[in-house]
Amino acid sequence: MNRLNARAISEDLQPQTGKSWKEWCELLDMWDGETKNFTTVATYLMLHYQLRQLYAQMIAVYYKRDWRASQAKV
């Protein structure tokens, strides 16, 4: 995938959050999420997008894990 398993994640997230995994990654990239820690990313998602804690944490974990994996390839 190189954005983890986008299809599986999107299938879980889109009905609950209204956005696909790709959309969440694009929003976090525009916000400069790669420079923020996990807690800051999750809090941002809860405050600015009114996500439930479960989904904010899920997105933050996958996003940070994916970002680290992409950096390891460089």
Q: Which of 57, 63, 49 is nearest to 17 (CA)?
A: 49
pTM: 0.80
**pLDDT score for 52:** 96
Would you say how long the chain is, in residues? 74
The mean-pLDDT minimum among 9-13, 14-18, 39-43, 49-53 falls in: 9-13
Which tens digits make up the pLDDT trace of 41-73?
Answer: 999 999 999 999 999 999 999 999 876 556 556
pLDDT confidence of residue 2:
46
More confident of the two residues 47 and 6? 47
- What is the crossing angle of helices 53-72 and 38-49, to 10°? 140
